[in-house]
Amino acid sequence: MTHGFFSLYDLARAFVLLVVLHSTTIEARELRLATTTSTDNSGLLRAILPQFERATGIKVQVISVGTGKALKLAENGDVDLLLVHDRQAEEAFVAAGHGSERHDVMYNDFILVGPKSDPAGVRGGDDVLAALQKIAGTQARFVSRGDDSGTERMERSYWQALGIPAQGKPWHLSAGLGMGEVLTMAGEMQAYTLSDRATFASYQARTGLEILVQGDPRMFNPYGVIAVSHSKYREINFSDAQALIDWLISEDGRAAISAFKPKGEQLFFVAPAGKK
């Protein structure tokens, strides 16, 4: 009897221990997401990720940096997943074997913002190159991200298209900061800057800046999601990374993105279903 009693007792204890360990394992599931500052500064991720976490039990650790730094983290195997906005760099990342396939998730646009006084006289335009030409011509102050972000890469492409070596000029200031901080700086300096629309919507009231140029097709801003290569980095949490990708492009994920409307304004638009 005693032997049987202890056997049942030990069995019960072992069962409870297994349940606890299993529960702890589920709770401990964590995914490292490197993303551009615009998805964080705008409040988008704070709005949608809790829905994914509740549905799956997977905790998402958000690392908000410029696109260039996010890609470098992924190349080093330090994150599991990317959500960034430099399609050319993203495709090169996949082609180099650092990540699995790229999926379009959403898009918005870049805007040129500046002070109400508009010293370069660019207000109301829809040609970003013409506006930057005027800013350079008048040597009006311009604050650049200077952080190798997707936004700064886009800005650099504009100056290159114009043949203007803006970097290093006294009127062109390289901040080395995220979008929200650059908008704050531009507001304090009464300067121009290139911003994504979503972050500007969150910071406009505190900066006093205004949208001066928008609507140029060259200012289109697509966001892609990529799981880091599991074959290259065996420690990557590939299965949970794929789970987040599947959710983002699912009806639930697309609905969550579409429902994000601070002050009633649609800041991100879902990509057509199935687009890569």
Helix (H) or strand (E) holding 29: none
- Residue 124 domain-assigned? yes
**What average pLDDT does range 254-271 have in this prediction?**
95
Phi/psi for 174 (5° steps) reads -95, 115
End-to-end, the C-alpha distance of the chain in Å comes to: 66
Task: Say yes or no: 62 and 88 in one domain.
Answer: yes
In the structure, what pLDDT confidence band is assigned to residue 275 with cuts at 50, 70 and 90?
low
pLDDT in the model for residue 247: 98
Task: Say yes or no: 21 and 157 in one domain.
Answer: no
Task: Say yes or no: 214 and 263 in one domain.
Answer: no
Between strands 210-213 and 142-144, the pairing is unpaired
Facing residues of 228 across strands?
Answer: 99
- Residue 275 domain-assigned? no
**What average pLDDT does range 80-89 have in this prediction?**
96
Residue 19 reports pLDDT greater than 80: no
Mean pLDDT of the chain: 91
**What average pLDDT does range 43-50 have in this prediction?**
97
Task: Say yes or no: 100 and 113 in one domain.
Answer: no
Question: How many separate domains does the chain show?
Answer: 2
CA 5 to chain centre: 59
pLDDT digits over 88-127, tens only?
A: 999 999 999 999 999 999 999 999 999 999 999 999 999 9
Task: Say yes or no: 114 and 215 in one domain.
Answer: yes
**What average pLDDT does range 50-55 have in this prediction?**
98
Residue 216 reports pLDDT greater than 60: yes
Residue 17 reports pLDDT greater than 90: no
Task: Say yes or no: 91 and 126 in one domain.
Answer: no
Task: Say yes or no: 92 and 173 in one domain.
Answer: no
Structure token digits, residue 248? 């983002």
Query: Could you list the residue range(s) of the whole structural domain that residue 233 is in?
Result: 9-108+223-270
Please answer whether residues 56 and 247 qualify as being in contact, where contact means their C-beta atoms are separated by less than 8 angstroms: yes
Q: Rounded to whole angstroms, how far apart are CA atoms 241 and 247?
A: 10
Closest CA to 222 of 112, 69, 109: 109
Phi/psi for 61 (5° steps) reads -95, 115
Closest CA to 199 of 86, 126, 110: 110
Task: Say yes or no: 233 and 174 in one domain.
Answer: no
Facing residues of 103 across strands?
Answer: 225
- Residue 197 domain-assigned? yes
Residue type for position 202: S
pLDDT in the model for residue 240: 98
Closest CA to 248 of 28, 30, 33: 33
pLDDT digits over 124-141, tens only?
A: 999 999 999 999 999 999
Task: Say yes or no: 228 and 100 in one domain.
Answer: yes
pLDDT in the model for residue 180: 94
DSSP 43: S
Residue that terminates a domain, selected from 180, 197, 219: 219
In the structure, what pLDDT confidence band is assigned to residue 6 with cuts at 50, 70 and 90?
very low
- Residue 1 domain-assigned? no
- Residue 142 domain-assigned? yes
Task: Say yes or no: 70 and 89 in one domain.
Answer: yes
Residue 205 reports pLDDT greater than 70: yes
pLDDT digits over 145-192, tens only?
A: 999 999 999 999 999 999 999 999 999 999 999 999 999 999 999 999
pLDDT in the model for residue 272: 86
CATH number at residue 227: 3.40.190.10
Residue 266 reports pLDDT greater than 80: yes
pLDDT in the model for residue 18: 55
The alpha-helical segments, DSSP class H, found in the chain are: 2-27, 37-41, 44-56, 67-75, 87-95, 128-138, 150-162, 179-189, 197-207, 238-248, 251-258
pLDDT in the model for residue 11: 53
Exposure b/e, 186-204, CB count within 10 A at least 16 = b = bbeebbbbbbbbbbbbbbb
